Structure 1
């Protein structure tokens, strides 16, 4: 596989897409689990803080995905 071949670029893009998908699924799972713990132990602020922290990380990842999508659309419109 050559460095700048079409197969290399497609394979590299797929790996990055899979990585972000797995990362998003992991953050969503941790968010659900911490939300359940917070719901069960509402007197313990540790779980609330964990839920807020994971929610902020999730929002950051969603913003990164949106930025990548916008960059890709701009790149596609310039080449078309």
Structure 2
């Protein structure tokens, strides 16, 4: 399925792909870049955070202080 890029850098997602991914007007999509140069289009599910670690934000609790980290880095801990 080929599509043309407009002068503004926009493309039309083919209907078959929209239907397969459940993409409707207003849907959020993300582009994943594979190391081999491929680009993968992914529908962003509103119930799942777009960022991989977003769901874990705020769950770790207090960590070591900067001084403690520096001591560990220096081999003092």
Same fold (TM over 0.5): no
Bigger relative contact order, structure 1 or 2, given CA contacts below 8 A and separation 6+?
Answer: 1
Larger radius of gyration: 2
TM-score, normalised relative to structure 1 = 0.26
Q: Which has the higher helix share?
A: 1
